[in-house]
Amino acid sequence: MSTRTKGLWMVLIASTLWGVSGTAAQVLFQEKEMTADGLVVIRMLVAGILLLLMAAWKGISLLAIWRKRESRLRLLLFSIFGMLGVQYTYFASIETGNAATATLLQYLAPVYIVVYSLMKEKRKPSKPIWFAVGFALIGTFLLLTNGAIEGLSVSFISFIWGILSGIALAFYTLTSAALLKNWSSFIVVGWGMVIGGGVMGLFSSSWLKPSAEWGLDTFLLIIFVIVFGTLLAFLLFIESIRHLSPTESSILSSFEPLSAVITSIVFLHVSFGFFQAIGGVLIILTVFVLSKGNRSSSEIL
């Protein structure tokens, strides 16, 4: 198996796990009365500690990354604005809306990455990029309104969290690519989660609602979110960037919104209007248009 094929499978599995874990999180928020704050803190700290223990078992130094000033600063930015940023904004969008919409809005991340690359390289957008931006704008409008201009089908606060989630994912992807040039993915993701979870724990005022339900199914859902939707998914995605460019990894993660939409409709019976479905398809088409655009725009760092 070629390294490129390996990277492809890694990102497809990771994005599918993310999508399914988003639906699991929606169950925890809406049926088990958990908060986004609480789930983010628990999943990040537990998954991060497990990753660092795995790194130590493999004989990887846990402190070497802290001895270089540039790596130390980049890791802190990645942990707070990337790792914590993408997880909190994504779950906040789910908590105030639903997993399908939150995932589709987060999926605008490749657009932000390409825009960043164009600004950095001081190049004018090509025709495919203009088409991609158009698809993204129209798709987002249909997703939010279901074709009805007079009202939103999704709450405005959920929309804002979703947009911020896409921006955070773009930042996460770019900063992790730079760190992976010198450090193990176990160290990068492990420390990122521990730091992000610790910061969130310090500033969070509502880990759990008083009415939170604790049963076997609640614990199983949390374990799934931690092990499969966090530890394994983030590790596979960030490792895929070793074999693919940051933008390619984002583009190939199209299974995330697909899996989130399917599981939300099948298991949670989330209603999805005709025009919202068209909007979702347009957002997914956006990244495929970008992938057929200027290949050099994917080589950002």
Q: How sure is the predictor about 300, in pLDDT bands with cuts at 50, 70 and 90? A: very low
Alpha helices in 204-245 (DSSP H): 216-226, 233-240
What digits encode the pLDDT tens for the residues 92-110? 898 888 776 787 787 777 7
Q: How far apart are CA 97 and CA 37, in angstroms?
A: 15
Instruction: Find the angle CA(275)-CA(281)-CA(287) to the nearest 5 degrees.
Output: 145
Q: How far apart are CA 228 and CA 244, in angstroms?
A: 22
Q: What is the structure's pLDDT at 208?
A: 59
Q: What is the structure's pLDDT at 17?
A: 86
- Least Cα distance to 227 among 239, 216, 219 occurs for 219
Q: How far apart are CA 112 and CA 109, in angstroms?
A: 5
Looking at residue 227, the DSSP 8-state letter turns out to be I
Tell me how crowded residue 271 is: count the other CB atoms within 10 A of its CB: 12
Domain map (residue ranges) of the chain:
3-298
Examine the pLDDT at 9 and tell me if it is beyond 50.
yes
Question: Lowest-confidence range among 16-25, 33-42, 226-235, 270-279?
Answer: 270-279
**What is the mean pLDDT of the segment spanning 196-213?**
74
What digits encode the pLDDT tens for the residues 178-191? 888 889 888 998 99
